[in-house]
Amino acid sequence: MRRVYLDNNATSPLLPEVFEAMRPYFMEKFGNASSIHQQGQRARAAVEQSREQVAELLNCRPAEVVFTSGGTEGDNLALFGLVKPGDHVITSTVEHHAVLNACKRLEAIGCEVTYLPVDGRALVDPDDVRRAIRPQTKLVSIIFANNETGVLQSVDEIGRITAEADVYFHTDAVQAAGKVPIDVRQIRCDLLTLTAHKMHGPQGAGALYVRKGTLLQPLFYGGRHERSRRAGTENLPGIVGLGQAAEIARHGFSDDSVERMSARRDRLERTIVGTMDQLTVNSAGAPRVPNTTNIVFECLEGEAMVIALDLKGLSVSTGAACSSGAIEPSHVLTAMGLSPDRARASIRFSLGKQNTADDIDFALQLIPEVVTRLRDLSPVYKRAASSQA
């Protein structure tokens, strides 16, 4: 059965060049980057080259890049590395769970956290950030691009506000890297999280940008890796993959790969909205990353739709999967003001660079068919339809 994967915000497949770049480092070019001998030096060189590639993606110095195991670790390192009991943190209600749960922990150990609300498009008002800053504020952490709806926060504006207030600014850019250009100097953030597997790199490899002069308490104690900021033998193949993915991501804004992906997303969204009724695009009208569209299929059970589509070969997502595998309504959609029913009726389609026009055609052919069947069998939809008639 043909399978089309439109859940790239969950994870994305490696691009062939990334896998090829990584391959030698598993066996022939293995090594511990801290070793003195040839294998070590070779490994060291590869790690440092990746560091440069990531630095170029972000427009920062290589020494400001700390390699991690991914987005969650990066977020945790940023928060726990910087914030001490008694500090005040400003964040939002639409952060990734890594930031939200880290903040809950910070609250438990004696910090105060302000969770800024968002508007109907999941946007934080930078003025709210400014107003929330107080003498004890240590850090503002606002997600760059939202994983659910793809909405882009006004990070430039927030960076300006935090710079003026002399408060640290961290942004979780996991969903933004590779989709929109990122310039940490321009944004004026102090910390930025990214991970490889959302930009066609391997899982288990990420980076935290740490602006020079920012003192960070490490999460892991051990060797002096990453300038004593993150102990642990470097994940050599992972880091090489991250570097390669970062380089491809950077080029994506000048070759047409991002543009083409964006055009496909637009066609998918336009066609769905144009050919079916009772739909709402979440965060419509707000700036968004070019690969994501999150649509409310009114009165439908998103879970049933995801399953029905999966059984026919299309992979998409709704809400957030919990440990049992059942879906819980998205806290982001809830924060935007969607009722639990509408949050549960929302489906996220997220493209990757590997998705072709044929993939979009396949999806466009399948979706109306599934939606129609679900609507025919939905008591809620029938009630709503008859009350409108």
Partner 1 sequence: MNIENQTVAVAMSGGVDSSTVAAILCERGYKIIGLTMQLWNQRRLASHEGMPEAVQGRCCSIDDVYDARYVAEKLRIPYYVVNQESRFEQDVVRPFVEDYLTGRTPIPCSLCNNHLKFDQLLITARQIGADLLATGHYARNEYDESTGRWLLKRPADRSKDQTYFLFGLTQDQLSRTLFPLGEMCKPEVREKAGRSGLRLFEKPDSQEICFIPDGDYKKFLDAYLEEQGEAIPDTAGELVTTTGEVVGTHNGIHNFTVGQRKGLGVATGSPLYVLKIRGDRHQVVVGGAEELLSGTLRARGMNWIAIDDLREPMRVDAKIRHRHEAASAIVEKTGEDEVLVTFDAPQRAITPGQAVVFYEGDAVVGGGWIC
CB of 326 to partner 1, least distance (A): 3
Residue 322: active-site member: yes
How far the first Cα of the chain sits from its last, in Å, is 39
- Positive or negative, the CA dihedral 237, 240, 244, 246 is positive
Q: How far apart are CA 183 and CA 212, in angstroms?
A: 15
- Within residues 244-283, the interface with partner 1 by CB under 8 A covers none
Q: Is residue 45 near partner 1 by the rule CB under 8 A?
A: no
> Residue 151 burial by CB count (10 A; 0-12/13-18/19+): exposed, middle or buried?
buried
Q: Is residue 1 near partner 1 by the rule CB under 8 A?
A: no
Q: Is residue 366 near partner 1 by the rule CB under 8 A?
A: no
Q: Using the minimum distance from each CB to partner 1, give the nearer residue, 121 or 312.
A: 312
Q: Residue for token digits 């969204």?
A: 269
Closest CA to 79 of 206, 195, 208, 235: 208
CB atoms within 10 A of CB 53: 22
Catalytic pick among 103, 189, 299, 322: 322
> Residue 24 burial by CB count (10 A; 0-12/13-18/19+): exposed, middle or buried?
middle
Q: Using the minimum distance from each CB to partner 1, give the nearer residue, 34 or 101.
A: 101
* Choice from 221, 379, 388, 389 touching partner 1 (CB under 8 A): 379
Q: Is residue 328 near partner 1 by the rule CB under 8 A?
A: yes
CB atoms within 10 A of CB 298: 18
Q: Is residue 326 near partner 1 by the rule CB under 8 A?
A: yes
Q: CA triplet 356, 360, 363: central angle to 5 degrees?
A: 135
Q: Is residue 325 near partner 1 by the rule CB under 8 A?
A: yes
Stretch that binds partner 1, among 29-37, 71-79, 350-358, 372-380 (CB under 8 A): 372-380
Q: Using the minimum distance from each CB to partner 1, give the nearer residue, 231 or 304.
A: 304
CB atoms within 10 A of CB 323: 5
Binding footprint of partner 1, residue count (CB under 8 A): 21
Q: Using the minimum distance from each CB to partner 1, give the nearer residue, 114 or 330.
A: 330
Mark residues 282-311: x for contact with partner 1 by CB under 8 A, - for none: -------------------x-xxx-xx-xx
* Catalytic site positions: 322
Would you tell me which residues interact with partner 1 (CB under 8 A)? 301, 303-305, 307-308, 310-311, 322-328, 340, 373-374, 377-379
